[in-house]
Structures are given as structure tokens and as C-alpha cells.
Amino acid sequence: MSPEWSPDSVGSTVVVVSDRVLSGEKEDKAGPGCVRRLAGLGMPEPRLRVVAESRSDIEKEIAESCDAATACPHPWGIRVSRRK
């Protein structure tokens, strides 16, 4: 791990993909648990987003989350960069 990297220098977003959670039919327990875990690791104010089970909605949320954060899903793992 780079000495310049620390959990408080990375923004984070938990994206829950579920039509039933989005509609209120089902309670989301995993998403808030992930947010608590990330906050417990020292990451500042993780965002929790719920999106429909639609490719376009998922792609849109990932793009928006990557614009707002410094760590993004990547085909070879997680890409981490310094905040601008």
C-alpha cells in the first residue's frame, strides 16, 4: 500500500441493485451494513444508492459514483486515485 493512501482519502459508494428494495417491497439490510463497515474502516460518509435491476440504471449509477469518488470498479480490480 502506498504511504500516500489512507481510507479517509477515498470516497465510497455502496450500490444496491434491487427492484424490490427500490420499490419499498423489501428492506435493504446489506447496503446499510456495507456503509457501516466502510465507515468503520475510516472512509468518510459512504454514500448508499439503490438502483433498479436495469443495465442502463446500473451503468448510470456507476458512472455518477466514479465521478464523485476516487475508487472505481475496474475490470482488473479497484482503481484508486488521489482526490483532486
pLDDT in tens, 38-74: 888 888 888 899 999 999 998 898 888 877 655 555 5
Q: From residue 71, how far is each of 20, 23, 53, 55, 77 by CA, in Å? A: 27, 28, 23, 21, 10
What pLDDT shows up at residue 71? 54
Write down the pTM of the prediction.
0.70
